[in-house]
Structures are given as C-alpha cells and as structure tokens.
Structure 1
Amino acid sequence: MCLKLRFILEKIIFVSLILCNAGLDCYEICQNSKYFFAKTETPHYGVCIVSFIIHGILVCFSIVAIFGVLTEQLLILQVFLGLIIVYCFTKMVVWIVCGNYLDKLDPNFDHSYTHMTMALALLNLFFSTRLCMRIDESTRQ
C-alpha cells in the first residue's frame, strides 16, 4: 500500500482532472440547488435530484480513485472507469433533457455547467482508461 512512483505524469494529469471535475461538480450542485430551493414548483425538480445523486456519488468515489491511482490498485481504477461511464451516460441524458425542455420551461436554469462537466468527464475517462491500461500492462511483465 505504498506510494508508487511510476507513471508520474499520467498520475498528475489524472488527479488534476479528478480534482477539477469534483470542484466543477460541487459548483454545479450549488448552482442547481440555488434554483431548486428558490421555488417549490421548479420544472427541473427531477433533473436536480438526478444531478445531486450522480454528482455526490462521483465526488465521493473520486477520493477513493485518487487513492487507487497513487497506490496503483487496479480494481479501484476499474470500478472508477465503470462509474465514470455511467456518469457520462446520465450526463448525456441530463444534457438532452436540459437542452430540449428546460429552457422553454424555466429560462433561469443554466446548463452550461452540464456541458463543462461532461467534457471534463470524457477527458477523465480517456486518461483513466489510458492509465489503467498502462498499469495493467506493467503488472503483467
């Protein structure tokens, strides 16, 4: 369980992407909750609940993924890959729903953070897959 010093650049990129994604997710939660708690009959009630749940799960597991990256625990990284794939699919659904319906119902709802978190999640997915493959390849040798 010690800190492994291989693949330093990939680990730095991965950890910085996780921290940026977690920070932006927390900010999006705050933005959504501002509109969510301002009115009781918000038209995007369901979207906010889904966003709270998926952002909370991702932020909590991102801390575990940082530990998995630093100690090169392959199972933790594989579970994080599955979680980020599910996160990307739910963000795409939220993006489609926000883009098609919520602007017409509530013009105050800003979903530009949905676009940014989706882009960061895709970058995170790419670099985590790359790092996971490199760690797996190095452990087989």
Structure 2
Amino acid sequence: MMGFYSSAYKIFWYLYAMFMTMLYYNYLGMLLVALTPNELVASILSSVFYTLYNLFSGFIMPQPQIPNWWVWLYYLIPTSWTLNGMITSQYGDIDKEITVFGEPISVSSFIKDYFGFHHDRLYVTGIVLLVFPLIYASLFAYLIGKLNFLRR
C-alpha cells in the first residue's frame, strides 16, 4: 500500500478489492478443477485464463484504447474490475495537478480520460467484484456434483 492515501475509506476499498480478487482467483481454480478430468488439463486451462485475465484487464492497454470488437471481453474479465476499483478508490477523488504528455491535468481527470475509470461509479465496481466470486463458487458447486469423470 505504498503511495496510497491513508484514510479509512481508501483502506477499506483496498482490502475489499484484494479480498474479492483472492476469492475469485481461488474459486476460478476450483471451477477449472471441477470442469476438467485431471490436474494437467486444469493447469493448462488455468494458464489460458490467467493470460486472458492479464491481457484484457486494462493494465497493458486501457479500456478506451481497446478496439470496439474486443471491449466486451474487458467487461467480462474480473481483473479489469479489480484494477478499476483499486485505481478509482485511491486516486479518483484527487484533484492535484500533474503533468501528463506535456500538459497539466488533474489526477481524477487523467484517470477518467486515459483509463475510463469514473469515481462516481465505484459502487458498481464493488457490486461486480462481489458477483464474480459468487458466480464462480456457484458454478463450482453445481459442476462438482453434476460432472463425473470416473471410468468404470
């Protein structure tokens, strides 16, 4: 949390976003194990998911720069919502002037223009971060009971 502002509001959002991130990654792993017949296939499939999660999270290429035919995947990737929650909660309400690309701009305006993160939509991010672990856990619970890879 180096460089973050120390207020109860911002610490709560940091801890909430990180906790939900750990939950959906754990539940994703459990879901992939339930979907696949053995651990080798699950590890291969998990590397595909982790690559997609990092590629479309908005960290390498921000959401306004993602082509329109791929932006739907940005909204389906949970790490994009984590990044949105972390950056928006920590820096979305700061109006300090910084120099970006040779022009002075406030931090909140830069986050809004460059990343597409809006501080007034932080509650939506919080709800979506809660929905991903619930979906993954529900799918895991359903699939672990329905899929049976045992051969007789």
Q: Give the TM-score of the pair, scaled to structure 1.
A: 0.38
Structure having greater relative contact order (Cα 8 Å, sep ≥ 6): 1
Which entry has the higher C-alpha Rg, 1 or 2? 2
More helix per residue:
1
